[in-house]
Chain A
């Protein structure tokens, strides 16, 4: 499984756009990139998944450059409730365990 590297923490203010970048230099050809969000004392929650270019859903966008060695999770107009830990994971085997890195702790202030 490809190793991922993310910033340990980020700070933002309400209403701003937040971009969290994840490095995965050893990503394999058939690997997908998935982001999860975790609040304290809760299980992780799926945010978005992508393979290349751009993916957008109702809560976030995921940008993946052509070389796929990194990806950026974009959260538009964050609110206080977006304060959480965000995990970037890379893998290709459906039905296999997810290996979590340290994640990025996002703190949103008013």
Chain B
């Protein structure tokens, strides 16, 4: 059981380049989330999805786009990377029903540097 898998684990981009981060989960979870983590800022929600074909904005959505074409995948896109998007990106998933002791599952993160 792989849980939540993020691809790639590391990436360096030049300003203006584009890229897509992939999050895949094999737990049949309805909810999926993308966060960024910066020093002293905690985790901030970028976008999230409550089911296949749905997306919604989080706290810091500007400069990012997302898609949830398949239930198991949640893609985060940077159309024109900026140095301010240098961060560690985390994906998470959780079930629809709030069953006790069913926590949010996190991937291991993607370290992204924009030069």
- The answer to whether A and B belong to the same complex is no
